Amino acid sequence: MTNFTTPLLPSMADIWQQTLNWQPTTQQQKQFQQLYELILEGNRQLNLTRIIDPEEFWEKHLWDSLRGIAPLLSGEIDFPVSSASPAFIDIGTGAGFPGIPVGCAIANCKITLLDSTRKKITFIEQILSELALSNVKTLVGRAEEIGQQPQHRERYDLALIRAVGTGSACAEYTLPLLKKKGLAVIYRGNWTQDETTALENAVEQLGGVVELIEKFTTPLSNSIRHCLYLRKVSNTPAKFPRAVGVPTQKPL
């Protein structure tokens, strides 16, 4: 197995720059390295991720997490934030993706990592303390319930969601949590025009619009990915999100 620290991480500097017009600082590189090692260690007890090869980890967990927010960082899409410390949420974060890399990269955001599995969140809490990431916090719960709680509903500027469900379920989990003008980023692998048509219908019912769909290839394995950007344009009707399980069982 390649050693992740040298020469792999330094050699990625050019790829970060060429693909995202961004480079991690030395401190961020250290955090990424530590994150990788802690996840490998955690994998011995918990089934956190199958991606353990260093290059694959870099591409699928680190690079992919930050690729989703690239159009915001570059200004390609409008991202009006309501304060100097915008509120982000990562729904179904699992082992902390995309939320932990985003929390490392954007120090001024406050990001909440939500997952329904307590043991994953307990593990993430250990990681956050090791990485000294004070802008990242955790929450145990189901998106369907959290989206109905006044302390979370319509409180976030940005909602991220990767590998949690169908497009319409992801829309139903994210849009109720967003403030008006807020943005949801849905990370996908393959995506088709038919899926866009179905998603547009769901998103409209939830008070949003599909603002942008980006197709791209990953820099090492040349895999196809899509990111869907949904804008919240009006309040989400109170009946959404529906009860636990309904967004997947009866998709909008």
Residue 162 in marked binding region: yes
Give me the DSSP letters along 68-127: TTHHHHTTSS----SSSS-EEEEET-TTTTTHHHHHHH-TT-EEEEEES-HHHHHHHHHH
Helix axis angle for 193-205 and 167-174, nearest 10°, is 30
Using CA atoms, how far apart are residues 196 and 190, in angstroms rounded to an integer? 12
Q: How many CB atoms lie within 10 A of CB 217?
A: 11
Q: Check binding of 92 to ligand SAM (CB under 6 A).
A: yes
Q: In the range 116-155, which residues lie near ligand SAM by CB under 6 A?
A: 116-117, 120, 142-144
Restricting to residues 62-81, which ones interact with ligand SAM according to CB under 6 A?
none
CB of 76 to ligand SAM, least distance (A): 23
Give the footprint of ligand SAM on residues 36-55 (CB under 6 A): none
Strand segments, DSSP code E, in 4-149 are: 87-91, 110-115, 136-140
* Closer residue to ligand SAM in complex, CB, 144/157: 144
Residue showing the smallest CB distance to ligand SAM in the complex = 94
Question: Minimal distance in Å, beta carbon 115 to ligand SAM?
Answer: 5
Given a contact cutoff of 8 angstroms between Cβ atoms, the answer to whether 184 and 229 are in contact is yes
- Residue 59 contacts ligand SAM per CB under 6 A: no
Cβ-based nearer residue to ligand SAM, 87 or 164: 164
Q: Does 93 bind ligand SAM (CB under 6 A)?
A: yes
What is the nearest approach in angstroms of ligand SAM to the Cβ of residue 167?
14
Provide the 3-class DSSP secondary structure of residue 105. Answer: helix
Three-state DSSP state, 35: helix
Query: Does 101 participate in binding ligand SAM (rule CB under 6 A)?
Result: no
Q: How far is CA 205 from the centre of its chain?
A: 23
Interaction between residue 163 and ligand SAM (CB under 6 A)? yes
What does residue 58 show for φ and ψ, rounded to 5 degrees? Answer: -60, -45
Stretch that binds ligand SAM, among 12-20, 110-118, 147-155, 203-211 (CB under 6 A): 110-118
Q: Using CA atoms, how far apart are residues 48 and 165, in angstroms rounded to an integer?
A: 18
Provide, rounded to whole angstroms, the least separation between the CB of residue 84 and ligand SAM. Answer: 27
Give the residues lining the site for ligand SAM (CB under 6 A): 91-94, 97, 114-117, 120, 142-144, 162-164
Residue numbers in the known binding site for S-adenosyl-L-methionine are 92, 97, 115-117, 143-144, 162
